[in-house]
Amino acid sequence: MKILLTGAAGFIGFHLSQVLLAQGFKVVGLDNMNDYYDVQLKEDRLAILEDLAGFSFYREDLKNYQALTEIFAKEQIDIVINLAAQAGVRYSITNPFAYVDSNLVGFVNILELCRNFEIKHLLFASSSSVYGGNKKTPFSTDHGVDHPVSLYAATKKSNELMAHTYSHLYGIPVTGLRFFTVYGPWGRPDMAYFSFTKDILEGKVIKVFNHGKLQRDFTYIDDITEGIARLVNHIPKANNHWDERTDGVSTSFAPYKIYNIGNNQPVELMHFIKTLEDIIGLEAKKEFCEMQAGDVLITYADVQDLQEDIGFRPDTPLDEGLEKFVDWYRAYYS
């Protein structure tokens, strides 16, 4: 089986590629290597992947439909895992067109190619941000997600709608993955755990938004990749008798399914910072700030259907995951 994995040089894509290769899949990686964050970090991830048997790579952009078509035709892809996207909630407020190009135009290109080349299964990254202003927790895939609070979240919700439409019209089996605050070695520098670690070690002030009154469902990278890898061959089936009055909205009359992948254990921001301080061995200099535009108070994943369908639920303790990240950070930047 050959998998096209977009965003292969990204944080999740890098780790997932290694897992899939170890399981015997051939992985065709694709990434545009943009400069949203440190390109050298992406290049270093890619260098590791290119040394692994079964991995090939294309430096290409999802917006380039002709180039993607040629890749699909040449590589005879069986499964697509679309992780490529313009990430970042706050960046979407000041750079909206980057999200339209990558998350909307790019995703339509992927859907069209999955249709034209009769892909067996499409898995794609959504986000916990789709829950937006929801108050009821834990966030369930059977909850409505019609009140996003950032353009990034809106594009991810749009991906879910577009994918469902293609699944219905063309019978493409589709699995959407709502990730919850992923962290770990080789992570993204724009994420709080990464920038906090950098600033604490350098003696700089960290900004604590909403005066620390935030909660996040931190999910370790190995739990994310384990969940995705188990879902690759768990292909959704259409429910011909689906009825919104009695059936969950994460399933459908199309071969379509949405899952949360989260730790199911939200952590208060101040506890998170204290854990990081203890691991690093330094106290952070803190500046307490107001809530940021586009941010939410809590993320909290209900993963019952993930456990029922593939017998898995994320469970890496925060202190264990953060210690592995800090160890990597110190080694990488030494």
Question: What pLDDT, on the 0 to 100 scale, is given for residue 223?
Answer: 98
Q: For residue range 77-127, what is the model confidence (pLDDT) as tens digits? A: 999 999 999 888 878 888 888 899 899 999 999 999 999 999 999 999 999
Question: Hey, which bits of 101-149 come out as E strands?
Answer: 121-127
Cα torsion 183, 187, 191, 197: sign = positive
Q: For residue range 173-232, what is the model confidence (pLDDT) as tens digits? A: 999 999 999 999 999 999 999 999 999 999 999 999 999 999 999 999 999 999 999 999
Q: For residue range 117-171, what is the model confidence (pLDDT) as tens digits? A: 999 999 999 999 999 989 999 999 999 999 999 999 999 999 999 999 999 999 9
Angstrom distance (rounded) from CA 315 to CA 279: 19
Question: What pLDDT, on the 0 to 100 scale, is given for residue 292?
Answer: 84
Q: For residue range 242-265, what is the model confidence (pLDDT) as tens digits? A: 999 999 999 999 999 999 999 999
Which amino acids are annotated catalytic? Answer: 152
Which residue in the block uniquely carries the two structure tokens 């499964």? Answer: 79
In this prediction, residues 299-304 reach a mean pLDDT of 96
3-state secondary structure of 264: coil
The per-residue DSSP string of 147-185 comes to: --SSHHHHHHHHHHHHHHHHHHHH---EEEEEE--EE-T
Closest CA to 92 of 149, 177, 176, 10: 149
Q: How big is the chain by its Cα radius of gyration, in Å?
A: 19
